[in-house]
Chain A
C-alpha cells in the first residue's frame, strides 16, 4: 500500500500522480497564486519547485537584480538614484508581500497535511474494518468447509448404509435363491418321488405352492426395497445439490455484503471530496472578498473624512440659515409694529409718542385717584345697605308677632261670642221659668181658698197622732204576748223540723216508705217465676243426683240393668250431634275439594267431565262452539267405548285415525281439542 507511506515531505512527483484524490484541488491553488504580484519576477517553472529552493531562487533573483542593476550602470544622476531607491523600496514591499503569501501558502499546506492525516486515520480505520471483515469471511469459509466435510461424511455414511443395505439385500436374495434352489431340488425330488409314491405328492405340492408364494412375496419385497434404495439415492443427490447451491448462495451473500460496504465507503469518499472542493472554492472567494473589502475599507476611510468635513460645513451653513430666518422674522415683526404705529396716526415719531404717553399717564393717574374715591363711596354705601337689611328683618319679626297675636285675639273673640250666646240663652230660659212661676203663683192664689186648707191640716194631724198611739198600744200588746222563751222554742222546733225533713228525704232516697202504705206486687212476677224455675231445676238435679247415686251403688255391685237416664240420652244426643256435624263438615269439604278438582281438570285439560251414570262420562270441550257439542264415553275396567253423539258424528276422520287405527282415546281427545281451538282462533 503506497498510501501509507505518504508524509509531509511528499515529492512533487507524488503530487503529480493521479492516485491522490486531492491533487486536482492543489493544482488550481498553484494556478491562482500568479494573481499575486510575487509571481511576476519568479520563473514560471518555479511554481512547481519545492519551498526551500523557491526561497533561494527568490533571494537569488533579488540579489541578481541588484547585481545586474549595479553591474549595468552606476547611477549617473541623482534622479536615477532616486528612481533606483524607489524601485528598491517597491521591491522590498513586494518582497514582504511575497513572504506573507508564502506564509499563507505554508498554512494552507499545513491544513492540507492535517486533512491528509485525518484521511489516513479514516483509511486505517477502514483497513481495520476490512481486516475484521476478512477474518469473519475466513471464519465463514471455515464453517462452510466444515459443513461440506460434514455433508461429505453424511454422504459417506449414507453410501455406507446403502452398501450395507445392498449387501443385506443381496444376502437375502442369496438366501432366498438358495431356498429357491433347495425348493427346486426338493421339487425335483418330489417329482422323482412323485413317480414312485403317489401319496406324498399333494403335501409336496402344497409345500411347493407355499414356497413359491413365499418366493414371490420375497421377490416383491426385494423390488420394493430396491425402489426405496433408488429413492434414497435420489434424495441424497438432491441433498448434495442443495448443499452446493447453499454454499454458492452464501458466497454470493458475502460478495454482496462486501460490495455494499464498498459502495457505502465510496459514497462517503465522494461526498467528502465534493465538500472539500466546495470548501476550497469558498476559500478562494473569501480571499478575493477580503482583498476587495480591504481596498474598499481604505476608500471608505477617505470618504468618511470627507463626510465629516462636509457635515461640519453643513452645520455651519444651517446655523447661518437659522439666524437668517430669525432675523427675517424679527424684521417682519418690527415692520408690522411699525405699520401699526403708523396706523395709530402718531406721525410725530417717538417724541410725539413720548408726549402722548406722558399725557396718557397723567390721565391714568387722575383716573386711578377717581377710582379710589369711588371705591370709598361704595364701601360706605354697602355698610348703609347692611344696616338697612338688619332693620328690615327686625321689622319682619315684629310683623309676624303681631299677626300671631292678632290670630289669638280673633279666636278669643269668637269663643267669647259663643259664651255670650249661651249665656243669653240661659238668661232667656230663666226668664221663661220665672214667668211660668209667676203665672202659677197667680193661678194658685186665684184657685185655692187658703182658709179651707188651714182648717184641714190640724184635723189630719190629730188623726195621725191617734194612729200613732194605736200602734204603740199594739206593739206593747205584742211584746206582752211574745215572750223570749217562746221564740227560742219556735226556733228549735223549726230546726228540728228541717232536720227531720232532710232525714225523710234521705230515707225516701234510700227506699224508705210510709209505714201506712202497703207494698204489693204481682204474684207471677218474673223474679218469682225465675226463682220457681231455679228451684224446680235444683229439685230435678237433686233427684237426678239421688238416682245416680243409687245407680252407682247398684253398678258397683253389678245388680240389675242401669235405668235410662236423661244424662245418658243427652250424651247420646250430643254424640249424635257431633257426628252429624262432622259428617256435614266432611261433606262440605268433599264438595269443596271435588269442585276444585273438577275446576282444575277443566282448566288444565280443557274438558268438562261429568259423570252421568256409573261408568258413563260426558265430555264437553272448553272450545266447543255450542254447549250441545259433547262426547259420551262408557268407561269400564278393561276398555273405553265412545257412544255416538251429534257432535261425534262430525268427527269421523278423527275417529278413524285415532280410535280405529291407533286406538288411543287421549290422542283423539287432543286432536279434537286442537281442531276446536284452531277453529276458535280462526274465527277470532
Chain B
C-alpha cells in the first residue's frame, strides 16, 4: 500500500493489519506461555498494550513468528485471510488437543480485492480511536490468560502450528504448504471477546478436547 494517510484520528488498512498482527503475536505468545508449550525460562516479559506479556526468546520461534505473521499481515492487506488458527498437538501421537481460532472479518463490505490492488477506489480509512482498539485487544488478551483456569492440563510433550485459511485465489510462497483442516473430536468451544479495528474484526474462539 503506497497511499497511507497519516491522520491522527484515522487508522489505515496497513495500521489495522499491523495491529491485528501484533495482537496475533502477543496473543499466541501468551497462549504458548500460559499453556506451558515451552518451558517458562524461555520467556521474557514485555510491556505492551499496557500489559505485561511474556514473549518467547527462543530464536527458532521468534524467526517462525516473523516469517509467518509477516506473510499473514500481507494477506490481511489483500483481504485474503479468513482465519488464522493456532493448533496445539501432541508430538508423539499428532493428536490435536487444542485449537485457537482467530476469525477475521472485513468490515467495509464485500469489496473485491482486485479493485483494491488496482487502486480504483480510495484507500480505506477507519474511524476508530487507537486507544479504544488497544483497550479491546488488552481485554481479549486478559481473557486468554483467564482461560487457563478452565482449559485441561497439557501433561504431555506438545508442539504448535499456525494454519492460515486463505482464499482460493491466493498465491502461496514456496516455503508454505497446503494442508488439511484440523478437527477436534468431541470438542468444547468457548468464544472470547471480539475486537475490531473498524477495518478488521477479530473473533477469538478456543476449542479444546472435552474430557
List residues of A whose CB falls within 8 A of some B CB: 508-514, 516-531, 534
Contacts and interface: CB of A to CB of B under 8 A. Distances in A.
Nearest to A512: B181
Contact of A511 (B85, B91, B172, B179): B85
B172 to A, nearest CB: 6
Given A526-B60, A526-B159, A519 B179 contact: yes
A525 B83 CA distance: 17
B131 to A, nearest CB: 30
A517 B162 contact: no
Interface of B: 60-61, 64, 67-68, 71, 82-83, 85, 87, 89, 91-92, 94, 99, 101, 103, 157, 159-168, 170, 172, 175-184, 187, 189, 191, 205, 207
B64 A522 contact: yes
A517 B82 contact: yes
Contact of A518 (B87, B161, B172, B175): B172
Given A511-B181, A528-B161, A529-B60, A516 B191 contact: no
A519 B61 contact: no
Contacts of B162: 521-522, 525
Contacts of B67: 522
Given A509-B205, A511-B99, A514-B82, A526 B64 contact: yes
A518 B178 contact: yes
B66 to A, nearest CB: 11
Nearest to A533: B91
A523 B64 CA distance: 10
A521 B177 contact: yes
A510 B207 contact: yes
Contacts of B64: 522, 524-526
Contact of B163 (A521, A523, A530): A521
A511 B184 contact: yes
B75 to A, nearest CB: 9
Contacts of A534: 91-92
A531 B170 CA distance: 28
Contacts of B175: 522-524
Contacts, number: 104
The interface residues of chain A, by DSSP majority, are classed as mixed
A510 B189 contact: yes
Nearest to A516: B168
A513 B207 contact: no
A581 B55 CA distance: 36
Given A525-B64, A526-B61, A510 B187 contact: yes
Contacts of A521: 161-164, 176-177, 179
Contacts of B207: 509-511
B206 to A, nearest CB: 10
A522 B167 contact: no
A537 to B, nearest CB: 10
A522 B176 contact: yes
Given A511-B182, A520-B177, A520-B178, A527 B168 contact: no
Given A509-B207, A518-B167, A526 B160 contact: yes
Contacts of A511: 85, 99, 101, 181-184, 187, 207
A511 to B, nearest CB: 6
A509 to B, nearest CB: 5
B166 A518 contact: yes
Which 9 residue pairs of A and B lie closest in terms of their CB atoms, listed nearest first? A530-B159, A527-B161, A527-B159, A525-B161, A516-B168, A517-B165, A530-B91, A509-B189, A522-B68
Given A516-B168, A522-B175, A510 B183 contact: yes
Given A511-B182, A527-B87, A519 B163 contact: yes
B168 A517 contact: yes
9 contacts: A510-B207, A513-B82, A516-B167, A517-B82, A517-B165, A517-B166, A521-B177, A522-B64, A534-B91
Nearest to A506: B189
A520 B189 CA distance: 23
A519 B178 CA distance: 6
B118 to A, nearest CB: 22
B202 to A, nearest CB: 14
A618 B7 CA distance: 83
Contacts of A519: 163-166, 178-181
A143 to B, nearest CB: 128
Contacts of B99: 511
A527 B89 contact: yes
A520 B207 CA distance: 20
B161 A513 contact: no
Contacts of A528: 161
Nearest to A515: B168
Contacts of A526: 60-61, 64, 159-161
B61 to A, nearest CB: 7
Contacts of B85: 511
B61 A518 contact: no
B209 to A, nearest CB: 13
Contacts of A514: 82, 165
A513 B94 CA distance: 21
A529 B170 CA distance: 25
B188 to A, nearest CB: 10
B181 A518 contact: no
B159 A531 contact: yes
Find the residue from A508, A512, A518 having the highest chain B CB count within 10 A: A518
A476 B93 CA distance: 71
Nearest to A522: B68
A512 to B, nearest CB: 8
A517 B187 CA distance: 23
Contacts of A524: 64, 175
Given A509-B189, A517-B168, A529-B60, 15 more contacts: A509-B191, A511-B182, A511-B207, A519-B163, A519-B165, A519-B166, A519-B180, A520-B170, A520-B177, A524-B64, A525-B64, A527-B159, A528-B161, A529-B159, A530-B159
A509 B175 CA distance: 29
B159 A513 contact: no
A511 B187 CA distance: 10
A266 B60 CA distance: 152
A508 B160 CA distance: 21
Contact of B166 (A508, A520, A529): A520
B211 to A, nearest CB: 17
Given A521-B161, A523-B175, A526-B160, A513 B60 contact: no
A526 B164 CA distance: 15
B177 A523 contact: yes
A597 B112 CA distance: 87
A530 B64 CA distance: 13
Contacts of B176: 520-523
Contacts of A523: 175-177
B31 to A, nearest CB: 13
A508 B205 CA distance: 10
A257 to B, nearest CB: 128
Nearest to B82: A517
B79 to A, nearest CB: 12
A485 B177 CA distance: 52
Find the residue from B71, B101, B180, B191 having the highest chain A CB count within 10 A: B101
A272 B169 CA distance: 174
A25 to B, nearest CB: 143
B205 A517 contact: no
A643 B120 CA distance: 105
B179 A520 contact: yes
A332 B182 CA distance: 162
A510 B209 CA distance: 11
B169 to A, nearest CB: 9
Contacts of B164: 519-521
A366 B17 CA distance: 148
Nearest to A525: B161
